[in-house]
């Protein structure tokens, strides 16, 4: 006949195995979460660097084109009208670029590791 302490040892062993598996799963998912966040941050860093470089090049080219356009349009319109038209055009482009850029940042600002969180929920919601 089995003693009550034998049953307690079996329950303790099963409980330890379940807790050990849960801890191992959480450690694994935390590591996956770190990797996921690191990958997202690297991608955002590369994208930001490319945007800064592109912005610098576009500014140089844009200034040259503005000067050429300003000079050409002064033959057709008064200088004040050319300045207003070109200034308004540049302002409109700036507003459009700012809106697109802010929407892209809002879309990518969530650095939460969704995959790892969903995996942990799937394991513990069974």
Q: C-alpha angle 25/31/33, rounded to 5°?
A: 100
- Residue 90, domain extent: 4-124
Kindly report the average pLDDT of the chain as a whole number.
Answer: 86
Collapsed DSSP state (helix, strand, coil) of residue 125:
coil
Collapsed DSSP state (helix, strand, coil) of residue 112:
coil
This prediction's pTM: 0.48
Q: How far apart are CA 107 and CA 90, in angstroms?
A: 26
- Read off the pLDDT of residues 85-102 as tens digits, 9 standing for 90 and up: 999 998 999 999 999 988
- Read off the pLDDT of residues 21-62 as tens digits, 9 standing for 90 and up: 888 888 888 898 889 889 888 888 988 899 899 999 999 998
Q: How far apart are CA 76 and CA 27, in angstroms?
A: 71
Phi, psi of 58 (to 5 degrees): -65, -35
- Read off the pLDDT of residues 104-126 as tens digits, 9 standing for 90 and up: 888 777 777 777 788 878 877 76
- Rounded to 10 deg, the angle between the 79-108 and 4-73 helix axes is 170
Burial (CB < 10 A; 0-12, 13-18, 19+), residue 116, is buried
Tokens of 31: 């590591």
Number of domains forming the structure of the chain: 1
């Amino acid at each position: 006949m089995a003693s009550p302490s034998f049953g307690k040892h079996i329950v303790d062993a099963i409980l330890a195995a379940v807790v050990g598996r849960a801890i191992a799963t959480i450690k694994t998912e935390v590591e996956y979460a770190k990797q996921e966040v690191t990958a997202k941050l690297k991608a955002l860093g590369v994208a930001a660097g490319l945007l800064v470089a592109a912005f610098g090049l576009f500014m140089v080219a844009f200034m040259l084109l503005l000067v050429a356009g300003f000079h050409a349009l002064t033959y057709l319109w008064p200088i004040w009208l050319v300045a207003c038209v070109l200034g308004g055009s540049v302002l409109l482009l700036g507003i459009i670029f700012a809106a697109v850029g802010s929407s892209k940042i809002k879309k990518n600002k969530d650095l939460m590791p969704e995959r790892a969180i969903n995996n942990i929920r799937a394991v513990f919601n069974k």
